[in-house]
Structure 1
Amino acid sequence: MALLHRAEIRPTKLELLSAWLPGRPWFQGEAAAGVERVAAYRFDDPAGQVGIETLLVRAGGGPVLQVPLTYRGAPLGDAEAWLVGTCEHTVLGRRWVYDACGDPVYAAALAGAVLAGAGQAEEYFEVDGHREHRPPSMVLTVDGAWRATAPGLGAIDRVEDGDPTRIVTDAVELAVVRHVGTEPGPAGARLSGTWDGQPAPLPLASAAPR
């Protein structure tokens, strides 16, 4: 479950991405146009400490890009290369925003979603002590899940920041599509998604044991 807050964030997520995305090797689009949100989905952190959200965005007339993000209340060690930026959240305070492909909490959540079919997090707003459900903007499906529970990842060996971005661990290889609509590889279980205006499922990520 993802518990959300009605809060102001400065700079906004899209402002952070508008500055950060043009420097990525897989970026395509109109950098001067900034980015607009297309859809999004979330995963759960079982420890409840890290926010995990994947945004689908577009820069001008460019392709739909997939950008997984993690939100943390303190810097992640040895992850400066994956830092998108920091922002001020009126409820939670300062947040460190990372490209989630460099965050082990995201890797574990993605492996659980793809290999064990854990699915996306249910989203709720907390309003005056009550929780209001927020309908998802995407529907995720998994083809080929083969475990009843999320597998142990082991240590992350390396992350290759391309399209797809590959996250290689001791036990699993994950691939995250950056240009949505392209194939993720490697062969294995696959995560796909649909959203308003995109009724046919498009691949988002894949996972395979090593």
Structure 2
Amino acid sequence: MAEIHHTTLKPTKLELLTEWLPGRPWYRGGPEAPLLAKAGGFRLDDPEGEVGIEFMVVNDAEASYLVPMAYRGAPLQGADEALIGTTEHGVLGKRWVYDGCHDPVLVAELASLIDGRAKAQAQSVSDQEDRDIQVSYEGAPLGAAAIESVADSADATEVRLTSGAALRLARVLAPGEGGQVSGVWQRADESAARAAFVIVQREA
């Protein structure tokens, strides 16, 4: 299990996302910088212990967004366009923070979660399963998932795998939708809601 270090980040994750989110095609805000608040999420463990994996939900005045993030100790080759930013971790030093939809380790572990080979972990507590994350998938195993392509739309990101399957990650959350991975977050009005985080799509 990954150890969660309760230490400083400069800049913070929310500061990084404040700069990054307005450039996304699924961002719903205007020209002003968003006022973000953390609203939920979960983590996954990298079996090699090298990459931090977090699925963070953030609120602003316009919407609630799901942002998968991968934290690395060195740049990910060929992923410059997916870089959210860099930050200085009080224990681990400089970290490169990527949009996790482009990170092969995050996508592989998400497939492991969907297949039932991994468990969702609490966002802020080490070695604690997050039981608010529900997984319901009965299709053929995704196996060792590898990324073929990544495409953003107005409300989601589709990660197509080399196997032919695709993972549709919601970016703008809508309460009540079903999906193969769903989770709970706190909306801006402080009410709790559940929504689809990930939907598995397979070729007919």
Q: TM-score range by the shorter chain?
A: 0.7 to 0.9
Structure 1 gaps of 5+ residues are 126-131
Greater strand fraction, Structure 1 or Structure 2: 1
Give 3-state SS (helix, strand or coil) of 2:172's partner: coil
- TM-score using structure 2 length: 0.85
Corresponding residue for residue 144 of structure 2: 152
Task: Report the Cα distance in structure 1 between the residues aligned to 2:38 and 2:136, rounded to whole angstroms.
Answer: 26
Q: How many residues matched?
A: 197
Assess if the C-alpha contact under 8 Å between 1:111 and 1:150 holds in 2: yes
Assess if the C-alpha contact under 8 Å between 1:116 and 1:145 holds in 2: no
Pairwise CA distance, 1:164: 1.6
Task: Report the Cα distance in structure 1 between the residues aligned to 2:79 and 2:185, rounded to whole angstroms.
Answer: 31
Deviations 1:3-23 (A, max 9, x none): 111211100000000000001
Structure 1 segments, 4+ long, off by >2 Å, are 29-34, 115-119, 121-125, 132-136, 144-147, 182-185, 195-201
Pairwise CA distance, 1:200: 5.0
Identity fraction in percent = 37
Task: Report the Cα distance in structure 1 between the residues aligned to 2:28 and 2:17, rounded to whole angstroms.
Answer: 13
- TM-score using structure 1 length: 0.83
Task: Report the Cα distance in structure 2 between the residues aligned to 1:184 and 1:173, rounded to whole angstroms.
Answer: 18
Q: What does 1:75-154 correspond to in 2, within 5 Å?
A: 75-116=75-116, 118-122=118-122, 136=130, 139-146=132-139, 151-153=143-145
Are 1:3 and 2:35 counterparts? no
Assess if the C-alpha contact under 8 Å between 1:87 and 1:97 holds in 2: yes
Task: Report the Cα distance in structure 2 between the residues aligned to 1:39 and 1:135, rounded to whole angstroms.
Answer: 14
Larger displacement relative to structure 2 (72-81 or 159-168): 159-168
What is the identity, as a one-letter code, of the residue corresponding to 2:180?
A: R
Task: Report the Cα distance in structure 2 between the residues aligned to 1:54 and 1:71, rounded to whole angstroms.
Answer: 11
User: CA distance change for structure 1 residues 75 and 183 in 2, over 3 Å: closer, same or farther?
Assistant: farther
Structure 2 gaps of 5+ residues are none
Pairwise CA distance, 1:29: 2.9
The CA RMSD over aligned residues, in Å, is 2.6
Task: Report the Cα distance in structure 2 between the residues aligned to 1:114 and 1:208, rounded to whole angstroms.
Answer: 12
